[in-house]
Structure 1
Amino acid sequence: MPLHPEIAAFVAGLPAPPEGPLDPVALRAADETHVAPPAERLPLHAVEDVTARTASGDVPVRIYTPAEAEGNGVIVYFHGGAFFLGSLETHDHVARSLAKETGLKVVSVGYRLAPESAFPAGLADCYGVVRWVAEEGGSPARGGTTLAVAGDSSGGTFAAAVAAMAHDDGFDRITHQILYYPSLDLDFDTGRYASLRENAVGYGLETAGLKPFNAFYTGSGADPADPLVSPLKRTDLTGLPPALVVTGEYDPLRDEGELYGRRLREAGVRAAVSRYAGAGHGFVQHFSWIPEYHRVFEETRDFLRRN
C-alpha cells in the first residue's frame, strides 16, 4: 500500500533540513515543544519519577503502573532519538500506551545522551537500570515473571545490545526483547540493504540523514563495527531472549530489523517480525494515535503472553 495518507500529509509539511552543522541543543528544544501537557496524557493508576542507583551512577527513570493490582512483570523501555535526542517527556505517551495495553509496569529510562556523554554511557545506563529493576529489593520487578527490554529506533539498538550484554554476563532474567523499527547496523553504506535505497527519500527519515544524525554517537566513541553499537555484527545470536521486531514498510532501516529477526530464528531463538504497511520510521512515536498503528501495543501484549 502507499504511505498512509496521514503520514504522507505530515511528511509533506516537514521543513527543509537546516543548513550547516546540526545543533543537538536546538533540536532537543524543538523536540520538547511537541510534548502534550500533563492534563492531556493517558491516565494510569500511577506515574512516578524516581532515581535508579546503578553501577553506572544515578539514572532518572519514570515508572508507569497501569492498575492498582500488581502485574506479573516489567518492561524496561528505552526511548529513541538517534542517541542524542529524546527524553522521558518526548516518549511519555509511548510508555503510557505500552503500560495500558500490556497491563505491565513500564520503567522508562532517562539515559545519558551523546555527544555530551561519550559511548558507552547511555548503553551503560540502560543496562544498569535493567539490573536495578531485577535485583534491587524494592524494585518494581520484584515477584514478576516478565522482564522485557523494549525500545524504538536507537532505543531498539540499546534493547538488543542490553539483551546481548546480559547473556554474556550470565544474567538470565531478561525474558523478551521488543524492538520497534530498530537501528541495528550503523554502517549506512546504501549497498548493504535494499530499504536504504528504496526508502531513501520522501518518507520522513531519509537515508542521507542517517550518518549526520548518528554522528553525535559514532563521534563519541561508538564504533559501528562493535556488536554493542551495531547488534547485527554479533556473530552468535544463540541464547538471546525471544524477540518481537516491528518494522515499517517505508523505513530505510526496515531490512536490517527484518534480517535480525531472521538471524535470531536461524540461531534457534523465537522471533516474530511484523512489518506495518504504509508506515515509515517513527510511526510508534508519532502516529500511534492512528488505529492501525496503535495495534503495535496490542501486538506487543500478545507477544509477551505467548512467549
Structure 2
Amino acid sequence: MTQIHDVALEAGGHGFRIRVYPATQPNGAMLVWLHGGAFMFGTLEMPEADQVARRLSADGTTVISVDYTLAPLDALESLTPPSEDAGFPSPEQLRAEAEAAGPRARFPVASLQVVEAFDWAVANAERLGARPEQVALGGASAGANLSAGAAMRLRDRRTTMPAVLALVYPSPHDGILPPNDELARLLQDVPPEHIFTPEVRSAINRNYLPDGIDPHGYAFPGGHDLTGLPPVLIVNAELDSLRASAEAFAAELARASVDVHLVRQRGAMHGYLNEIGHPAAEHTLALLADAVAGAPRREANS
C-alpha cells in the first residue's frame, strides 16, 4: 500500500508541496483539501489538515492536502484575532510557523497553487485508486475561500471541474455581512475572543488582497456570477459571525441554479475541526465523506 508522502509542485512563481494520503481501501473518490488560518497561518500538521485527511482516507477517500504559500504577517500588529480555541495558533506557535513557513506571498499565489494541486490530483487519480472525474475540492475557513476561488478559475478555464465543492465555515464575501436577528442574539453569548469583528476581517482580507480588486471572484466569490459551479456542500458553525456570509453564498448558488446543501452545526464555533473528537467535527467528517464518495461524475466542460 502506498504510504503518506509529499510531492513538490510550483505555481504562481513559488514552490509548494502537497501531502498525499492514499485511501486504505479506495472507493474511487479523491479530495483536494485546504486548511484554514486567515490566509496567514496553518500547517499540514494542524488537525484541520492532518486529522481530516487521515480520517477521510481511512474511510476510502484519497486526500491531497495542500501546503499553499501563506500570506505575509504584516497584519498581525493590527489584529486581535479570535483565541487559540477558535483555531488560531498561540503566539509561540505563530513565531514557530513564521520561521518554518518560508517565503510568503499575497493573492493570487495560493489561488494558482490550488488549481495546480487540483490538476495534479486529476492527472494522478487513477494510480491512487480514484477516478479523475470524481476529484472533489474543499477546505475550511480561508481554505474554503481558496477552494471556491479555484473552482471559479477552473470553471472559467473550461476544463475538468471538481466533482463537488466542500466548504466548511467559509466566508466567501469580502467582509463581514450583517447578522440576522437570530445570529445576532446567539453572538451575544459568545466570548468576544471567539468572534471575528468587521475590523479583524478587514485586516485579514486586505493583508491577502490589499487593493480589494477582485473582478472575477477568484479571491472572494461571494457576490459574483456563480453559474456553472459544481454541487456545493456548505457546513457552518452556528456560533460564528462569518456564518451570514456562508448563508448568503448558499442563496446566491441556488439562484445560479447550482445544487447546494447547507448544514449548520448547532452549538459549534469557528475552527471546530481543530478540536479532535468534537461532535461537530465528527458530523462534518461524515458529511464530507458522504459528499465526496457520492459525488456525481462530472466530465470536462459539463
Q: TM-score range by the shorter chain?
A: 0.7 to 0.9
Matched, 1:105 2:62: yes
Q: What's the counterpart of residue 219 of structure 2?
A: 229
**Match of residue 157, structure 1, among 128, 141, 145:** 145
| SS at 2:268 equivalent | coil
Structure 1 vs Structure 2 CA RMSD: 2.7
Q: Residues 268-283 of structure 1 correspond to what in structure 2 (within 5 A)?
A: 268-283=257-272
User: How many percent identity over aligned positions?
Assistant: 27
Contact kept, 8 Å, 1:54 with 1:129, in 2: the verdict is: no
Counterpart CA distance in 2 for 1:163 and 1:94 is 21
Q: Residues 83-162 of structure 1 correspond to what in structure 2 (within 5 A)?
A: 83-90=39-46, 91-101=49-59, 103-115=60-72, 116-135=104-123, 140=128, 143-162=131-150
Matched, 1:181 2:169: yes
- Kindly indicate whether structure 1 or structure 2 has the higher relative contact order, using CA contacts under 8 Å at least 6 residues apart: 2
* Cα distance, 1:196–1:212 mapped onto 2, change above 3 Å: farther
Counterpart CA distance in 2 for 1:192 and 1:205 is 12
* Cα distance, 1:239–1:223 mapped onto 2, change above 3 Å: same
Counterpart CA distance in 2 for 1:77 and 1:164 is 16
**Match of residue 260, structure 1, among 224, 243, 249:** 249
Q: What's the counterpart of residue 14 of structure 1?
A: none
> How big is the shift at 1:225?
6.6
Q: What's the counterpart of residue 75 of structure 1?
A: 31
> How big is the shift at 1:55?
6.8
* Cα distance, 1:163–1:195 mapped onto 2, change above 3 Å: farther
- The one-letter amino acid of 1:276's match is Q
> How big is the shift at 1:233?
2.3
What do the CA deviations read for 1:99-120 (whole angstroms, capped 9, x no partner)?
Answer: 234x111001111111231211
> How big is the shift at 1:303?
2.1
What do the CA deviations read for 1:152-178 (whole angstroms, capped 9, x no partner)?
Answer: 000000111111110110023311100
- The one-letter amino acid of 1:173's match is M
* Cα distance, 1:253–1:53 mapped onto 2, change above 3 Å: same
> How big is the shift at 1:209?
2.7
Counterpart CA distance in 1 for 2:105 and 2:124 is 26
* Cα distance, 1:150–1:58 mapped onto 2, change above 3 Å: same
Unpaired runs of 5+ residues, structure 2, are 73-103, 296-302
Contact kept, 8 Å, 2:7 with 2:19, in 1: the verdict is: yes
Contact kept, 8 Å, 2:11 with 2:109, in 1: the verdict is: no
Matched, 1:284 2:240: no
Matched, 1:212 2:189: no
Contact kept, 8 Å, 1:181 with 1:254, in 2: the verdict is: yes
Contact kept, 8 Å, 2:27 with 2:130, in 1: the verdict is: no
Q: What's the counterpart of residue 21 of structure 1?
A: none
Matched, 1:303 2:291: yes
**Match of residue 20, structure 2, among 47, 52, 63:** 63
- The one-letter amino acid of 1:98's match is L
* Cα distance, 1:71–1:305 mapped onto 2, change above 3 Å: closer
Q: What's the counterpart of residue 31 of structure 1?
A: none
- The one-letter amino acid of 2:40's match is F
- The one-letter amino acid of 1:264's match is L
Q: Residues 14-53 of structure 1 correspond to what in structure 2 (within 5 A)?
A: 46-53=3-10
> How big is the shift at 1:63?
0.5
Counterpart CA distance in 2 for 1:55 and 1:135 is 19
Unpaired runs of 5+ residues, structure 1, are 1-43
Contact kept, 8 Å, 2:18 with 2:64, in 1: the verdict is: yes
Q: What's the counterpart of residue 244 of structure 1?
A: 233
* Cα distance, 1:296–1:288 mapped onto 2, change above 3 Å: farther
